Amino acid sequence: MCFSFEVSVATLVFSWTIGLYLLNNRTLSKENTYHVYYLLLFSLMQIPDAILWKNNMKRNNVNYIVTSFFIPLLLSAQVLFNVFIRNKETNTIIILLTLLSVVYLFVRFNGYSVESSCKNGVSSPIWGEVEINYVELVLFAFVVSYHNPRAFLFLVLIFFPLIRHLFSGGYGSLWCLLLNLIAIQLLITA
């Protein structure tokens, strides 16, 4: 989620350029290959975000379909990728929680996206008309990073609180920043 159509498209192009460059021009470990695949999957969220911006958040079929189907589908794909492909999870409890998470995403974001009432320069679309709350962010961060405690702790203890403090919300738009930072980090370290 970014704060404008142009930033969403630029972020998508930037992250995919780096991701494809890494896949085609570097010999990557299995772990780094998964990181790049996840970057590409994570960055696909910029497509529905750009569509919502281009649609001016109008309450129409485009908004409803993007918000109710494409957004939860992409978020679910991130969760499923992390649990089943990256971590090859077989624990029944984790599998059940994962499946419940996927159902929750489709229920949670059913509806329309609206423009944030927060006019701080980094406001992003509010999916499903209700701002993502901190608990949802923490749970999502856990599901997509439980294999990496440092990443989880960074998100929960530094990144999210910093966003909240500096911008009084705008979590969605700062995911755009996080995506670009991850792309740069992978370019340097992979």
Mean confidence (pLDDT) of the chain = 87
Rounded Cα gap, residues 15 and 7, in angstroms = 12
DSSP letter (8 states) at residue 156:
I
DSSP lists the bridge partners of residue 24 as none
Share above pLDDT 70 across residues of the chain, in percent, rounded to a whole number: 89
Global pTM?
0.88
Helix H or strand E encompassing 75: helix 71-80
**What's residue 118's pLDDT?**
59
- The dihedrals phi and psi of 126, each to the nearest 5 degrees, come to -100, 110
Residue in the structure block whose two tokens are 């920043």: 177
SS3 125: strand
Interval 134-163 mean pLDDT: 82
- Quickly state the pLDDT bin for 96 (edges 50, 70, 90): very high
Check: CB of residue 125 under 8 Å from CB of residue 57: yes
DSSP letter (8 states) at residue 13:
H
